[in-house]
């Protein structure tokens, strides 16, 4: 029996419209429907965040390779995954970590400046974790694109690779967050930060070695080192540009 799609008016047979993909089973919106949608979109074992994170945690490079090859049903979108994890991390920081504000004055270009501006910048960065996580991905992608340019992947594919890799790094940050909170004062915090950084680098290396499986592991590690050098170079350039903008436009030179 033919069904008329409520989305595009196409007549079709089966469970899904062959034109737009909408399900033949559409019901009036209610609380049960919304709860079912949340379960399947976020927490369903064979679809959504839990499924994507499970696959990334067990075989990251292989999973990303399969995603690029077209095996995408059930996976949470790469950039959306970054946004969700970064938002969760931002909320945890907001409720459990209180950053101490800078006080007094700082010297910029020979002028004494209030730290209110610096506190505003720090506060904005801390309250916009998702945006900051997304902003940095294109720079990681450019670095990996240049370091692994001989492997034949385009920039968009490197964006996907680095989005999923960033998700893994965010997951590690979330896992170690309780320890970070408990040791936020004293040398213990430095130890936790160091362990977290080591784990993040190790996970990134594991992901890239699996993804570029045509390379020997030591070859991939060399390229990964080049990638990090390029990335840090990008950050230094951006930092220098930011300082110049602050000096010229916010606190101009006094003659």
Residue 18 within a domain? no
- Which residues, in sequence order, are bridge partners of residue 106? 113
Residue 118 within a domain? yes
Residue 38 within a domain? no
How confident is the model over 150-165, as a mean pLDDT? Answer: 94
> What pLDDT is stored for residue 214 in this prediction?
93
- Asked whether the predicted pLDDT for residue 109 surpasses 70, the reply is no
> What pLDDT is stored for residue 105 in this prediction?
53
Greater pLDDT, 99 or 198: 198
- Asked whether the predicted pLDDT for residue 41 surpasses 80, the reply is no
- Among 37-46, 132-141, 186-195, 204-213, name the most confident range: 204-213
Number of domains in the chain: 1
Cβ 227 vs Cβ 207: under 8 Å: no
Over residues 165-183, the pLDDT tens digits come to 999 999 999 998 888 777 7
- Transcribe the chain into DSSP letters: --EE-TTT--EE-SSB-TTT--BS------HHHHHHHHIIIII-TTSBHHHHHHHHHHSHHHHHHHHHTT--TTBPPHHHHHHHHHHHHHHHHHHH--PPPP-SEEEETTEEEETHHHHHHHHHHHH-HHHHHHHHHHHHHHHHHHHTGGG---HHHHHHHHHHHHHHHHHHHHHHHHHHHHTSSSHHHHHHHHHHHHHHHHHHHHHHHHHTTTS-HHHHHHHHHHHHHHHHHHHHHHHHHHHHHIIIIISPPP-
Residue 219 within a domain? yes
Residue 23 within a domain? no
Cβ 120 vs Cβ 85: under 8 Å: no
Q: Which of 234, 237, 228 is nearest to 147 (CA)?
A: 228
Residue 223 within a domain? yes
Greater pLDDT, 26 or 36: 26
Q: pTM of the entire structure?
A: 0.74
Distance CA 25, CA 7 (A): 12
Cβ 89 vs Cβ 62: under 8 Å: no
Residue 143 within a domain? yes
Range of the domain at 224: 75-250
Residue 57 within a domain? no
Distance CA 218, CA 220 (A): 5
> What pLDDT is stored for residue 143 in this prediction?
96
Average pLDDT, whole number, for the chain?
80
What confidence tier does 103 reach under pLDDT thresholds 50, 70, 90? low
């Amino acid at each position: 029996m033919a069904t008329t799609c409520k989305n595009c008016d196409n007549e079709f047979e089966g469970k899904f419209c062959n034109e737009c993909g909408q399900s033949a089973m559409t019901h009036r919106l209610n609380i049960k429907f919304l709860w079912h949608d949340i379960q399947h979109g976020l927490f369903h074992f064979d679809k959504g965040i839990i499924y994507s994170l499970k696959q990334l945690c067990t075989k990251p490079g292989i999973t990303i390779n399969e995603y690029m090859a077209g095996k995408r049903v059930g996976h949470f979108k790469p950039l959306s995954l970054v946004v969700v994890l970064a938002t969760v991390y931002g909320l945890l920081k907001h409720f459990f970590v209180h950053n101490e504000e800078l006080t007094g004055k700082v010297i910029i270009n020979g002028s004494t400046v209030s730290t209110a501006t610096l506190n505003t910048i720090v506060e904005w960065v801390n309250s916009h974790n998702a945006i900051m996580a997304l902003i940095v991905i294109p720079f990681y992608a450019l670095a990996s694109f240049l370091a692994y340019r001989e492997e034949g992947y385009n920039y968009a594919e490197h964006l996907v690779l680095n989005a999923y890799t960033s998700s893994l790094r965010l997951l590690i940050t979330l896992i170690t967050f309780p320890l970070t909170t408990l040791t936020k004062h004293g040398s213990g915090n430095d130890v936790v930060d160091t362990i977290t950084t080591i784990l993040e680098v190790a996970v990134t290396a594991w992901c890239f070695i699996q993804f570029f499986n045509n390379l020997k592991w030591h070859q991939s590690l060399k390229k990964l080192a080049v990638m990090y050098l390029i990335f840090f170079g990008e950050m230094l350039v951006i930092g220098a540009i930011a300082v110049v903008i602050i000096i010229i436009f916010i606190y101009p030179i006094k003659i």
